[in-house]
Amino acid sequence: MTGAVAQRWSFWGGLLTALTAISAVVWAFPLYWGVVSSLKPEDEVVRPFIELWPETLTFQHYIFALTSTQIGLWYLNSVVVAVGVTAICVFTSMLCGYAISQLRFPGRTALWLLILGSFMVPIQALIINHFKLVADLGLLNTWAGTMLPQLIHPVIVIVYKQFFDQVPRDFREAAVMDNASEFAILFRVYMPMNWGVTTALSIVCFIWTWNAFLWPFLAITRTEMMTVTVGITQVNDAFGIYYARQLSAAVLAGLPVALAYLLFQRRVTEAITLSAGIKG
């Protein structure tokens, strides 16, 4: 009986492994196809049949993207926006999570319910409001205008609140007895225990902001102010669209976040797990 059960589990385990491998290939193939196509001459890209490897390997499209476009400025804009949003968002979310978790003030429950309720509103539904507000403030085509609607991620506030809720009250009470201020309690007592979560959330927030397309696409019309995700749509010329050029620009745009994921994979996975736990 035990042998039959073991064989059954072995069968289902092998089946799940095979399905996982197939899913991974299906997911990764478009990435592989994009990279390989960016290394082909344009005439090979537009052929009506599939070629898994270029007949003629060329880097001319990457050279074009690096030398004949403003991708350097686009990178700079993306770095400034992503770093700025990450720093402000993580810092303010940390303060908000600490206040809701540890302080007692009028409207605390209503604020917490508002943050939880914000999950029911898709960000796309607020695009018109964001555009009108940023336009009225005269911030279109600026770094500040690109950053402003991206500064709030409710899930980060919730993750911080959950962490602060789990810290034993004894730490706070001991600090209060030493006449420590709230900022001192936060940064000298709670944060030393929280750097792992903060690092993970910062990396994921940076990746979210770097990959953002819809809002930067609407808020920026000047080529020199575009982020790299929007700027790559401008990689063409008077003769039309060159797919290989656009694919090479897309690969260059995604390279920083791919490297960040490879370098900080454990932290990214930790943050995604925390976020999934909240949303689930």
CATH of the domain at 262: 1.10.3720.10
Are 82 and 30 in the same domain?
Answer: no
**Contact of 201 with 117, CB cutoff 8 Å:** no
Rg (CA), the chain: 24
Are 31 and 145 in the same domain?
Answer: no
- Tally of domains in the chain: 2
User: pLDDT at position 280, please?
Assistant: 44
- Angle at which helices 71-102 and 108-117 pack, to 10 degrees? 140
Are 81 and 28 in the same domain?
Answer: no
User: pLDDT at position 271, please?
Assistant: 61
Are 109 and 222 in the same domain?
Answer: yes
Evaluate if pTM is beyond 0.85: no
User: pLDDT at position 215, please?
Assistant: 93
Of the three residues 14, 44, 60, the one that is the final residue of a domain is 60
**Contact of 132 with 148, CB cutoff 8 Å:** no
**Contact of 154 with 119, CB cutoff 8 Å:** yes
Are 97 and 215 in the same domain?
Answer: yes
Are 19 and 113 in the same domain?
Answer: no
Are 135 and 207 in the same domain?
Answer: yes
Are 73 and 210 in the same domain?
Answer: yes
Bridge partners of residue 240, in order along the sequence: 237
pLDDT (mean) for 186-212: 86
Collect all residues with Cβ–Cβ distance below 8 Å to 35 and sequence separation of at least 6.
Answer: 247, 251
Would you give the DSSP letter of residue 237?
A: B
pLDDT-based confidence at residue 268 (cuts at 50, 70, 90): low
Are 73 and 212 in the same domain?
Answer: yes
Are 55 and 67 in the same domain?
Answer: no
pLDDT-based confidence at residue 279 (cuts at 50, 70, 90): very low
Domain that holds residue 11: 2-60
pLDDT-based confidence at residue 66 (cuts at 50, 70, 90): confident
Are 187 and 272 in the same domain?
Answer: yes
pLDDT (mean) for 104-130: 86
pLDDT-based confidence at residue 1 (cuts at 50, 70, 90): very low
User: pLDDT at position 238, please?
Assistant: 46
- 102, exposed or middle or buried, with CB in 10 Å at 0-12, 13-18, 19+? middle
User: pLDDT at position 204, please?
Assistant: 85
Of the three residues 20, 39, 60, the one that is the final residue of a domain is 60
Q: Which amino acid is present at 27?
A: W
- 58, exposed or middle or buried, with CB in 10 Å at 0-12, 13-18, 19+? middle
Collect all residues with Cβ–Cβ distance below 8 Å to 99 and sequence separation of at least 6.
Answer: 105, 108
Of the three residues 15, 43, 60, the one that is the final residue of a domain is 60
User: pLDDT at position 218, please?
Assistant: 92
Are 38 and 141 in the same domain?
Answer: no
Average pLDDT, the chain: 84
